[in-house]
Chain A
Amino acid sequence: QQQVKQSPQSLIVQKGGISIINCAYENTAFDYFPWYQQFPGKGPALLIAIRPDVSEKKEGRFTISFNKSAKQFSLHIMDSQPGDSATYFCAAQSGGSYIPTFGRGTSLIVHP
């Protein structure tokens, strides 16, 4: 059973555009939602994370929007750059579990 559903599977945007990746979850016990970025040949690296007590968190060009009632959260990449081309994974974790559940990933390509 996939507890975290991520979409789209792949995304192509032009340089300077906005990239939007969406995730949805079912388990209301989840209370920590990190996003990871993975480049080819590398392990995933933590990009940004949010807790459900806030609806939005911004770090540079990266913003997480969180909708607790809809059990959805999304990653927005403003002014997308070719260097942002990577696979992005959303994840969800509950305080009682030390183990995050990952989405299937979104392959982002930013064309110059």
Chain B
Amino acid sequence: DAGVTQSPTHLIKTRGQQVTLRCSPISGHKSVSWYQQVLGQGPQFIFQYYEKEERGRGNFPDRFSARQFPNYSSELNVNALLLGDSALYLCASSLGQGTSPLHFGNGTRLTVT
């Protein structure tokens, strides 16, 4: 059974550029969440989508946006990249009901130079 897949695995961008990260959830999971993980810290919540609707948004600037497609896959977009956006971006899927556990992908390592 395939887990959560994220692409690309690594990405190098320069300041001011835009980036799109992609996530495919576990089959049957209707919710996708995005987290930013800076080295030495826990995952910080960015967005959660359920059935293609935004269900939650963390404390991130409007440069961050996301969407969920009819097949429940998701994209995270970050515009006007800053050096501080360098991090591991994690996608997690879940059934999306109650306190169903999160299943994380291995992340996209974004480096902004």
Q: Is the CB of A98 within 8 A of B42?
A: no
Q: Is the CB of A99 within 8 A of B101?
A: no
B85-107 with Cβ < 8 A to chain A: 90, 92, 94, 96, 98-99, 101-107
C-alpha spacing A100/B103, complex, angstroms: 12
Question: How many chain A residues have a CB neighbour from B under 8 Å?
Answer: 25
Question: How many chain B residues have a CB neighbour from A under 8 Å?
Answer: 26
Q: Which residues of B are in contact with A by a Cβ distance under 8 Å? A: 4, 31, 33, 40-45, 48, 50, 55-56, 90, 92, 94, 96, 98-99, 101-107
Q: Which residues of A are in contact with B by a Cβ distance under 8 Å? A: 6, 31-32, 34, 36, 41-46, 49, 89, 91, 93, 95, 97-105
Given contacts A44-B104, A100-B102, A101-B45, 20 further A-B contacts (CB under 8 A): A6-B42, A43-B90, A43-B106, A44-B90, A45-B103, A45-B104, A46-B101, A89-B42, A93-B99, A95-B99, A97-B56, A98-B48, A98-B50, A98-B56, A98-B99, A102-B42, A103-B42, A104-B41, A105-B40, A105-B42
